Amino acid sequence: MDIPKIVNQQKCFFNSNCTKEVTLRINTLKKLKNVIKENEKELYKAIYTDFKKSEFETYITEIALIYNELNDAIKNLKRWSKQKRVRTNLANFPAKSYIIPEPLGTILVISAWNYPYQIALIPVISAIAAGNTVVIKPSEIPNNTSRILAKIINTNFDANHFTVVEGSVETTTELLKQKWDKIFFTGSTSVGRIVYKAAAENLTPVTLELGGKSPTFIFKDCDIKLTAKRIVWAKFLNAGQTCIAPDYLLVEKEIEQQLLSSLKSEIEIAYPVNNTINENYVQIINDAHFDRLSNLIPKDKIYFGGEQNASERIIRPTLLQNISFEDPIMKDEIFGPLLPIISFENLDKVITKVKAKEKPLSLYIYSKNKKIIRKTLHEISFGGGAINESLVHLSNPNLPFGGVGTSGIGNYHSKAGFDTFTHYKSILHKSFLFEPNLKYTPFTKWKRQIVKFILE
Ligand code: NAD
């Protein structure tokens, strides 16, 4: 594959100015929606082959999110791309001022494997809505989903506008050598560093959607049963292979046993079969991740679960008790169906412990106490989150999605996504009608007085 040629052709296409036409952008997005609709069955089939994931779960966590993003962009694109008039200050009189949203140019989107369709396509929708050309490099790990994505995009769209390049590290390394106008990366913090370094060579701006350990606080005044039900859903969806899944629980000591017992009951209801293929429970993506997760389980701390089936790559939802911040499982993002539970009595101390770690991508609080919620939100920096829920903040298009610190740089979804791929060009537009002459020589005393009067 001739990567420099693909990039060069996209640059020529962008320079022809046709992607600046709002109608072309809207038509491309409408076509993308149709192409996905026509190929939905194949998309479900490929993801089942890679993950044993059901149509229903794929629909709610992938396809529906893509349709929502498309509908939102198609509906709002004309308004977002309009030039905006702003006030002009007295010092610049007589003039008008405006801001022109302009596309950045040619974009590289590199995506992760865990939600292979939406993580690749949602940034692409924003990039196209903003008038850019895009090369997508999906993760090679779920190879059936990567192949179907390449097939449906590359057979239906002009490669000069929008194309998929499949490949692994070598291909990505070659892509990163090119001069892009923006790189949008979703993946691990360690590869994020590689991408950031490569981008710096050309001073290319980046958005980095990374990972980390997302804490979940559970206070004694919460509705324990409903809290347990919501956490079990959020944690074990996609078998815990979700960047914003609750990574670990911080529970008030007083309700620890009650919560553990409710979590266990909810798991038994949601995932009644223990460690065999089951249409409601996803596989671990590959043997390397299976082994990594298997080795992470502290056998003496299992409260529930722990059963494994290596040939099917299934690990039963597992609850781990008596965990402290020093346990090995508290070092890195878990990214699997293991849920460590730490109990606490002193909120200030536990906040200090959380703050000593890297800034999380997400944080969740289960409580009815407004003061406690406000305190926790105020004191801990994190990407985004939810109160008395988990994950679902991602599905509200009015909430920009992204991390902070090592969990990410920049954000996207809906208008925030449009902004991510847009440069706002500021223009001051002067009239020829009148020239105040104040800024020109000679710098007389009266000119100084007037200038001081205007500027101070
Ligand atoms: P990864 O970093 O291993 O891979 C991401 C992409 O980078 C893939 O396309 C891969 O081919 C490429 N890549 C891998 N190694 C590379 C290298 N050495 N040089 C250049 N490119 C390379 O991540 P992953 O395993 O696919 O995904 C899991 C991680 O992604 C988790 O940390 C998770 O939290 C994070 N994630 C974040 C979000 C988010 O929205 N913030 C969403 C999904 C996943």
pLDDT band at 361 (very low <50, low <70, confident <90, very high): very high
Same domain, 229 and 338: yes
pLDDT band at 222 (very low <50, low <70, confident <90, very high): very high
Model confidence at 293: pLDDT above 90: yes
Q: What is the pLDDT of residues 164-218, one digit of tens each?
A: 999 999 999 999 999 999 999 999 999 999 999 999 999 999 999 999 999 999 9
Q: Kindly state the tokens that stand for 70.
A: 């498309």
Contact 69, 84 (CB under 8 A): no
Domain interval for residue 73: 3-210+407-424
Same domain, 162 and 192: yes
Task: Give the mean model confidence (pLDDT) for residues 318-333.
Answer: 97
Same domain, 131 and 242: no
Of residues 439 and 407, more confidently modeled? 407
Contact 187, 110 (CB under 8 A): yes
Is residue 47 in some structural domain? yes
Residues catalogued as catalytic: 209, 243
Q: Within its chain, how far is the Cα of 286 from the centroid?
A: 22
Same domain, 54 and 158: yes
Mutate to test the pocket of ligand 1, among 108, 111, 113 (most ligand atoms within 8 A of CB): 113
Rounded-to-integer distance, Cα 158 and Cα 128, Å: 13
Same domain, 254 and 353: yes
Rounded-to-integer distance, Cα 103 and Cα 348, Å: 46
pLDDT at 434: 87
Q: What is the pLDDT of residues 120-167, one digit of tens each?
A: 999 999 999 999 999 999 999 999 999 999 999 999 999 999 999 999
Is residue 440 in some structural domain? no
Please list, in sequence order, all residues whose beta carbon lies within 8 angstroms of the beta carbon of residue 77, skipping any fewer than 6 positions away. Answer: 22, 25, 26, 29, 129, 418
Contact 204, 179 (CB under 8 A): yes
pLDDT at 275: 61
Task: Give the mean model confidence (pLDDT) for residues 334-359.
Answer: 98
Please list, in sequence order, all residues whose beta carbon lies within 8 angstroms of the beta carbon of residue 226, skipping any fewer than 6 positions away. Answer: 388
Rounded-to-integer distance, Cα 384 and Cα 407, Å: 11
CATH number, domain with residue 287: 3.40.309.10
Closest alpha carbon to 422 in 77, 101, 11, 16: 101
Same domain, 174 and 285: no
Closest alpha carbon to 90 in 446, 438, 442, 448: 438
Cα-to-centroid distance, 6 and ligand 1 (Å): 23
pLDDT band at 278 (very low <50, low <70, confident <90, very high): confident
Same domain, 197 and 64: yes
Same domain, 139 and 221: no
CATH number, domain with residue 176: 3.40.605.10
Please list, in sequence order, all residues whose beta carbon lies within 8 angstroms of the beta carbon of residue 256, skipping any fewer than 6 positions away. Answer: 321, 341, 343
Cα-to-centroid distance, 353 and ligand 1 (Å): 27
pLDDT at 190: 95
pLDDT at 225: 98
**What single-letter amino acid sits at 62?**
E
Same domain, 83 and 204: yes
Same domain, 136 and 151: yes
Of residues 1 and 432, more confidently modeled? 432
Contact 136, 111 (CB under 8 A): yes
Output the residue whose Cα is nearest ligand 1's atom 26.
112
pLDDT at 277: 67
pLDDT at 272: 84
Mutate to test the pocket of ligand 1, among 126, 191, 359 (most ligand atoms within 8 A of CB): 191
pLDDT at 5: 97
Quick check: helix, strand or coil at residue 236? helix
Q: What is the pLDDT of residues 64-114, one digit of tens each?
A: 999 999 999 999 999 999 999 999 998 898 999 999 999 999 999 999 999
Rounded-to-integer distance, Cα 422 and Cα 416, Å: 10
Q: Kindly report the pTM of this predicted structure.
A: 0.96
Is residue 444 in some structural domain? no
Rounded-to-integer distance, Cα 239 and Cα 143, Å: 19
Quick check: helix, strand or coil at residue 340? strand
Q: What is the mean pLDDT of the chain?
A: 96
Please list, in sequence order, all residues whose beta carbon lies within 8 angstroms of the beta carbon of residue 442, skipping any fewer than 6 positions away. Answer: none
Please list, in sequence order, all residues whose beta carbon lies within 8 angstroms of the beta carbon of residue 348, skipping any fewer than 6 positions away. Answer: none
Same domain, 264 and 196: no
> Hey, which bits of 203-356 come out as E strands?
206-209, 215-218, 248-252, 302-304, 308-309, 314-315, 318-320, 338-344
Is residue 443 in some structural domain? no
pLDDT at 456: 85
Is residue 431 in some structural domain? no
pLDDT at 274: 61
Output the residue whose Cα is nearest ligand 1's atom 13.
169
Cα-to-centroid distance, 246 and ligand 1 (Å): 19
Strands 133-137 and 95-103: unpaired
Cα-to-centroid distance, 2 and ligand 1 (Å): 24
Pocket of ligand 1 from Cβ distances under 6 Å:
110-114, 119, 137, 139-140, 168-169, 172-173, 186-188, 191, 194, 209-211, 243, 333, 335, 361, 403, 408
Write down the H helix ranges in 52-142: 55-58, 64-80, 118-129
Is residue 430 in some structural domain? no
Rounded-to-integer distance, Cα 259 and Cα 255, Å: 6
Task: Give the mean model confidence (pLDDT) for residues 313-321.
Answer: 96
* Number of structural domains the chain divides into: 2
Same domain, 138 and 258: no
pLDDT band at 400 (very low <50, low <70, confident <90, very high): very high
pLDDT band at 1 (very low <50, low <70, confident <90, very high): confident
Rounded-to-integer distance, Cα 254 and Cα 386, Å: 23
